[in-house]
Amino acid sequence: MVVTLEKNTRLSKFGFRFNRGGAHLSRTMMLEDLSTLLGYINDPNVDKTDYLSAIKEDNCLGKRSGKTRELTSRHLVSLYSLDTNDILFRTLLFFWHRDPAGRPLLALLCACARDPILRTTIPFILNLPEGSVVAQEVMAAYLDDMEPGRFSPATLKSTARNINATWTQAGHLQGRVRKIRTPAIPTPGSAAYALLLGYLTGARGPALFKTDYARILDCSFDRAIELAREASHRGWIVFKQVGDIIEVVFPALINEQELARLRHTGGPGE
């Protein structure tokens, strides 16, 4: 327990969240709102106050009331931080503008790092065979099994609906009411981002391709290697492979302060 707490504390400094709540108690991962916001402010150098002002003052998301704008900003911060001092958001922006096709998976990866409730559903969704039906009631039962009695029936129902909608936005499910498990479509940018998240949690070498974040890519180990190699060719990461030896580093993404933090801790989990 102490080791887990220490690791979570270290990861929190990179933007990961481990609180008891989560945006999915009342929202999806809000892909449309995020896309609109990042299209409205197309500048990676602005700070968090600019994003909040765009939502609450400019009403760039077209919300009907000040209260709704406030709630929307709060949930977007919970899911994505909107703070470039956090490596999770800063690198999300990096790939967002370089790999538009990867945006659904990029958003899901960041949301999973920052929403513990959504994160708990990763193995449930990814272990389902293609073509499986994911009913809202099944997801609700899974959430209840994880923490029996924590949520009321109404909260379980709404949270299950929100989580199923998020996995649909990301491409792992299809259908409006009847959700069907389908393969997501990974890209070089989403693969690089998944590897970065795994790196921050302490994975190295081949283990980077086996974390829950890498599994979200929904592809084989060999396909993930191909995507990492493509991301390296584009200069986003550095990928090297000699036989079974794999090295992935992120000189364009991790700043000196963050590298020092990783070295000081020996790398989370190392």
Contact 175, 165 (CB under 8 A): no
Q: Is residue 269 pLDDT above 80, yes or no?
A: no
CA–CA separation, 253 and 235 (whole Å): 11
Angle at 24 between CA 142 and CA 33, to 5 degrees: 140
CA–CA separation, 67 and 128 (whole Å): 39
Residues above pLDDT 70, as percent of the chain = 95
pLDDT of residue 265: 58
Task: Give the residue extent of every domain in the chain.
Answer: 2-101, 118-181, 188-264
pLDDT of residue 90: 97
pLDDT tens column, 106-117: 999 999 999 999
User: Tokens in use for 217?
Assistant: 């890519």
Mean pLDDT of 220-239: 98
CATH number of 188-264: 1.10.10
Mean pLDDT of 232-236: 98
Mean pLDDT of 197-218: 97
Residue 215: which residues within 8 A CB-CB, separation 6 or more?
122, 126
With residue 179 as reference, give the H or E element that holds it. Answer: none
70-74-76-81 Cα dihedral, nearest 10 degrees = 130
Mean pLDDT of 177-195: 96
User: Tokens in use for 138?
Assistant: 């099944």
Instruction: Please give the residue that has the higher pLDDT: either 7 or 182.
Output: 182
Contact 125, 227 (CB under 8 A): no
pTM: 0.94
